[in-house]
Amino acid sequence: MNTFKIGGVHPHDNKEYSAHKQITAVPLPKQAIIPLVQHIGAPAKPVVEKGQKVLVGQVLAEAGGFVSAPIHSPVSGTVTKIDTALDAQGMKMQCIFIDVEGDEWLPEIDRTDTLNAVCKLEPKEIIAKIQAAGIVGLGGACFPTHVKLMPPPGKTAEVLVVNGVECEPYLTCDHQLMLERGEQIMVGIDLVMKALGIQKAIIGIEKNKPDAIQHMTELANKHLGVSVKPLALKYPQGGEKQLIDACIGRQVPSGALPIEVGAVVDNVATLYAIYEAVQKNKPLISRVMTLTGKSVKKPGNYEVRFGTPLTDVIELAGGVPEDTGKVIGGGPMMGRAMQNLDMPCNKRMSGALFMTKADSVRVEPENCIRCAKCVSACPMGLEPYMLAKLSAAQNWEKMEKLNVMDCIDCGCCLFTCPSHRPLLDYIRLGKGKVGGIIRARQMAAQAKK
C-alpha cells in the first residue's frame, strides 16, 4: 500500500472516541466574537462600524492583501464594538463583537440541501468566488486557497491531490465530513479541477477509514478523472509534501511549493467549503470540528459558526472532564496547548482535545543515547539529534547547512525519542533564528542592488 518514503511514526490513532458521530450543529451564541486574523497573511480590514446591523454572510472585513482573506459575519445582529479579545494562548487579538439577534441570512445564499452539481462559471469566476468567500485551507494551516489556485507564471498544475488523510490522532471531522457530505466534496473537486484546467484528482485516504475509502471510491466513479488512493497508516501523511509523495510519488524539492512538481493540495473540508461558496453562494462562516478526549462525556463532530466561544461547544459535549490536564487546539501531534477556553472558534479550529492529567505531563529527559531513532523517524530526512545539539550550542550557521528550514514541525523526533529529549523545542528555536538570519541576508542583498 502506498505511503511516503522517508521516516514517519505510528502513534495510536485514538479515533474511536468520536469516529462515526453524526455532525451536530452547535446552537448560536448570544455574542459572537470574530477575530480579524483567521488565516496566514495580512489581517483583514474591518468594513463595518459600531452599531451597524449585519446579516449572516455579510462581509465584516475585507482581505488585507493578495495573501489574505475576507471575513464574513457568521451570525446576524448588531456590531457592538471592534476591540481586543484573548486567543487560545491568552494573547490579545483584534476582533469584531456582534450581539446575536435571530438568524437572518443574506438573500442570495442558498440554504437548501439540494445538491447543485452543475457549474457554468469560467475558471476565473470560480477563483474569484472562492477568494471573495474567504476560503482558507481548513486542514490547519489556513493558507488562503485562491493563492494556490493561481500558479505563478511558468508553473502549471497537473494534478489535484485531495487530503482526506486526517493523520492527526483523535481528529475525525474530515472523516465524518467525507461520509456525510461526500457528494458535495466531489463537486468541490470538479470545481477546483475546472479552475485549474486539469483533468486529474487523487484523493488520499488512510486505511483506518475503510468506510470513507469505499464511499468516496463509489462517488469518484461518477466523476471523470477523480480517483481514491488508499494509503497505509503513517504519520505525518497529511503533511503536504508527504501526501504528494504518497499519492503521486513526486518529492517537492527543499524550499519549493507543491506546484513545483505540478501538484495542488486541498483538504476535503476546504473542498466542501469551495462547493458551498461557488454553488450555494455561502461564504466560509462555519466549519466542522472534533471535540474529543478519553474522558469527554459526549465526544463528537460539531459544526460551529465562527465566533462561538469554545465553552459553548464544550458544554454541548458534556463539560470539561474533571481529570483534564491539558486542552489542545487541533490534534496531539501538532496542535497547540490552550490556556483560554473562552476563545472564539475560528477557521483554524479543527478540534479541541482534552487530555487527562496523566497524559499531559512530559517525562523528565535523559541523556541522548544516540539510538538514531529520531533520524529514522524524520519524514524530511533530517538529523534531529544533531540539529537540537547545534541549537543548544547556538550554531545557527551549521544548522542552516543541515537543512533545518526543511523541518515541518511534525514532532516525529520528539514522539519517538526514548530519552524524551525536547528535540523539536530546540529545533523550533533554531529554525526561528535561522529564518531570521536568512531574511536579513535577503534584505541586505536587495538593499545592495
Per CB under 8 A, residues contacting other proteins are 6, 9, 11-12, 89, 169, 241, 245, 251-254, 256, 320, 324-328, 332-339, 341, 353, 355, 359-363, 366-373, 375-376, 378-383, 385-386, 402-403, 406, 409-411, 414-420, 424-425, 428
Using a 10 angstrom Cβ sphere, with 0-12 exposed, 13-18 middle and 19 or more buried, the burial of residue 196 is buried
Q: Which is nearer to other proteins, 47 or 361 (CB)?
A: 361
* Residue 268 beta carbon to other proteins: minimum distance, rounded to whole angstroms: 23
CB atoms within 10 A of CB 447: 7
Three-state SS at 371: coil
Using CA atoms, how far apart are residues 350 and 273, in angstroms rounded to an integer?
14
The answer to whether the CB of 12 falls within 8 A of the CB of 25 is no
Q: Is 169 exposed, middle or buried (0-12, 13-18, 19+ CB in 10 A)?
A: middle
> For residue 382, how many other CB atoms are within 10 A of its CB?
22
DSSP 101-152: -S--B-TTS--S----------HHHHHHHHHHTT-B-TTTT--BHHHHTSPP
In this complex, which beta carbon is closest to other proteins, that of residue 60 or of residue 328? 328
For residues 194 and 326, which CB has a smaller minimum distance to other proteins in the complex?
326
Between 6 and 119, CB nearer to other proteins: 6
Output the smallest distance, CB 404 to other proteins, in A: 11
Q: How many CA atoms lie within 13 A of 317 on its CB side?
A: 30
Q: Closest CB to other proteins among 146 and 234? A: 234
Residue (168 or 174) nearer to other proteins, CB: 168
Q: How far is the CB of 112 from other proteins (least distance, A)?
A: 40
Give the residue carrying C-alpha cell 474533571.
Answer: 322
Q: Which is nearer to other proteins, 224 or 392 (CB)?
A: 392
Nearer Cβ to other proteins (12/449): 12
Helix axes 268-280, 123-132, angle to 10 degrees: 100
- Residue 355: phi and psi, rounded to 5, are -100, 140
Nearer to other proteins, 190 or 240 (CB): 240
Instruction: For residue 80, give the H/E element and its range.
Output: strand 77-86
Closest CA to 1 of 231, 249, 251, 234: 231
Burial class (CB in 10 A: 0-12, 13-18, 19+), 361: exposed
For residue 304, the minimal CB distance to other proteins (Å) is 21
Q: From the CB of 235, what's the least distance to other proteins, in Å?
A: 9
Q: What are the cell numbers at 140?
A: 490547519
Q: Which residue matches cell numbers 535561522?
A: 434
Which cell numbers in the block locate residue 162? 485531495
Smallest distance from other proteins to CB 286, Å = 26
Quote the least distance from Cβ 18 to other proteins, whole Å: 16
Residue 401 Cβ vs other proteins, minimum distance, rounded to whole Å = 10
**Complex with other proteins: residue 43 or 239, whichever CB lies closer:** 239
Q: How far is the CB of 242 from other proteins (least distance, A)?
A: 8
CB of 194 to other proteins, least distance (A): 29
